[in-house]
A = this chain, B = another copy of it.
Amino acid sequence: MTEDDDLAALCAGAGRSLAEAERPVLDQHGLSMWQYVVLSALSAGAVPSQLVLAQQIRYDKTRLIALLDTLEAAGLVAREPDPADRRARVVRLTSEGSRRHAAVRDAIREVEERKLAGLSPETRRQLRSALAHLANSD
């Protein structure tokens, strides 16, 4: 993995390296990567439907169902029918889900901090900015 590789290969390598470093943390908290992604998305606020949530995290809506089933059974999220459109189900974090997400997020930030060691604050800021630019330039 050197700097003259394709950018996609570099992103994949960095992403895989980060995911490997974060896996033990997630295991320790009994969450899969996708479950954590769902909690993170919901930590910004409740979502009006499962379909919206699926699109937001770029996950298949049919696979999201089993994921939410598990999280609901664990008491971390709640699904309630939308009074305005009874087809849709509002999804939100429970208070326990909120606590759990905050704990995992903090632990993951520590891991990222270790991986970023050696990069200046300015470099880190530019890295995040550039990655966000790439992710949104469709």
Contact = CB atoms under 8 A, between A and B. Distances in A.
Task: Report, as a range, how many residues of chain A touch the other chain.
Answer: 35 or more
Contact of A12 (B15, B117, B126): B15
A123 interface: yes
Interface stretch (A45-53, A84-92, A129-137): A129-137
Interface of A: 1-20, 22, 37, 40, 58, 105, 108-109, 112, 115-119, 123-124, 126-138
Task: Kindly list the 10 A-B residue pairs having the minimum CB-CB distance in the complex, ordered from nearest.
Answer: A13-B135, A11-B15, A14-B134, A8-B18, A10-B131, A1-B135, A127-B130, A14-B131, A3-B128, A14-B135
A10 B135 contact: yes
Contact of A8 (B2, B22, B129, B136): B22
Tell me the dominant secondary structure on chain A's binding face: helix
A58 B16 contact: yes
Contact of A128 (B10, B15, B105, B116): B10
Contact of A3 (B10, B132, B137): B132
